[in-house]
């Protein structure tokens, strides 16, 4: 696992634009190297802010959108099209404006349709979809997440909650303790809606790069706790690491409780 790197930007707007520029570069490099790229999206104000900044970037067309796989780190278990679903918000912020291949967009199942009222079944179905993609990627039984079928995502994006949660992995709840499954149903989440679907820490840690986004003073305590050596059960963000890179992208308000020596003076 990689050690965390911290970059602090002046404000959330600059952070979103800089993160969008980083993501364009990373995706273009991956497509040049392997022909395609894969990104795991996150919701929330910072995840959607990044997508909106990407939509506005003149460089967005450097990406070959038809060769990009999009996955989600978690989802609210709500009906398809619900405005609170991460996939709905992502389409509004960016996805409807770029020429994606629909077959390469992988939303988590909704609470209506096949998996009505069955978040655990929906999670198992998404895990199977990930395993199929991992097998295609390697042309052999996949090695992601300890051999349990996760693609090697190029970038996995995560927002950090004020309680240190990432995806829908909340402190002390069973999902954050999961070591076998790659996707789980989450029940009794402390923020609405209480039922969700989430990647687990083993799946997150299969990514090549994990980027954690936090802006605003309400995130300062969580950022400081997660970067101070806290355990992942008590502070799930502390357990989110990438294979080759773990990048914390912050604004000055979210970094307010960090020691200044933790990030380089060159952070804008």
Measured CA distances, 129 to 178, 218, 255 (Å): 19, 35, 37
Could you report the per-residue pLDDT of 54-67, keeping only the tens digit for each?
A: 999 999 999 999 99
Name the β-bridge partners of 5.
247
Instruction: Give CA torsion, residues 141, 143, 145, 149, to 10 deg.
Output: -20
What pLDDT, on the 0 to 100 scale, is given for residue 141? Answer: 40
What pLDDT, on the 0 to 100 scale, is given for residue 266? Answer: 54
Could you report the per-residue pLDDT of 5-60, keeping only the tens digit for each?
A: 999 999 999 999 999 999 999 999 999 999 999 999 999 999 999 999 999 999 99
Task: Supply angle C-alpha 116, 195, 53, rounded to 5.
Answer: 105
Strand, helix or coil for residue 49: helix
What pLDDT, on the 0 to 100 scale, is given for residue 144? Answer: 39
> What average pLDDT score do residues 216-242 get?
97
Instruction: Give percent of the chain above pLDDT 70.
Output: 94
Report yes or no on whether pTM surpasses 0.85: yes
- Put the strands of the sheet holding 37-41 in their side by side order: 4-9, 245-251, 209-214, 155-159, 37-41, 68-72
What pLDDT, on the 0 to 100 scale, is given for residue 145? Answer: 41
Strand, helix or coil for residue 45: helix
Could you report the per-residue pLDDT of 118-173, keeping only the tens digit for each?
A: 999 999 999 999 999 999 886 544 333 444 589 999 999 999 999 999 999 999 99
SS3 content of the chain, % helix, strand, coil (to 5): 40, 20, 40
Region of 81 please: left (phi>0), alpha (psi -120 to 50) or beta: left
Task: Supply angle C-alpha 68, 54, 216, rounded to 5.
Answer: 120
Could you report the per-residue pLDDT of 177-210, keeping only the tens digit for each?
A: 999 999 999 999 999 999 999 999 999 999 999 9
Could you report the per-residue pLDDT of 55-101, keeping only the tens digit for each?
A: 999 999 999 999 999 999 999 999 999 999 999 999 999 999 999 99
Q: Is the dihedral of CA 135, 118, 182, 219 positive or negative?
A: positive
What pLDDT, on the 0 to 100 scale, is given for residue 260? Answer: 79
Provide the residue count of the chain: 268
The DSSP code for 7 is E
Count Cα neighbours of 166 within 13 Å in the Cβ-side half-sphere.
Answer: 34
Q: Which structural domains are found in the chain, ordered by start? A: 4-262 (3.40.50.1360)
The mean pLDDT of the chain is 94
């Amino acid at each position: 696992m990689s050690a965390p790197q911290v970059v602090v930007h002046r404000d959330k707007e600059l952070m979103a634009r800089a993160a969008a520029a980083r993501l364009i570069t990373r995706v273009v490099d991956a497509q040049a190297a392997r022909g395609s790229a894969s990104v795991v999206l996150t919701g929330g104000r910072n995840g959607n802010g990044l997508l909106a900044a990407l939509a506005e970037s003149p460089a967005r067309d450097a990406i070959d959108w038809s060769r990009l796989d999009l996955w989600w780190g978690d989802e609210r278990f709500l009906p398809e099209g619900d405005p609170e679903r991460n996939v709905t918000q992502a389409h509004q912020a960016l996805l409807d404006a770029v020429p994606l291949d629909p077959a390469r967009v992988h939303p988590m199942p909704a609470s209506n349709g096949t998996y009505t009222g069955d978040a655990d079944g929906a999670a198992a179905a998404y895990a199977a979809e990930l395993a199929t993609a991992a097998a295609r990627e390697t042309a052999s039984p996949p090695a992601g997440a300890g051999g349990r079928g996760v693609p090697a995502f190029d970038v996995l994006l995560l927002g950090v909650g004020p309680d240190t949660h990432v995806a829908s992995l909340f402190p002390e709840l069973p999902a954050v303790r999961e070591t076998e499954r790659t996707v789980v149903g989450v029940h009794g989440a402390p923020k609405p809606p209480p039922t969700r679907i989430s990647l687990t820490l083993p799946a997150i840690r299969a990514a090549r790069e994990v980027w954690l986004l936090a802006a605003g003073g309400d995130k300062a305590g969580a950022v400081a706790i997660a970067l101070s050596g806290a355990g992942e059960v008590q502070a799930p963000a502390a357990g989110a690491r990438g294979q080759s890179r773990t990048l914390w992208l912050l604004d000055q308000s979210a970094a307010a409780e960090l020691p200044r020596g933790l990030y380089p003076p060159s952070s804008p």
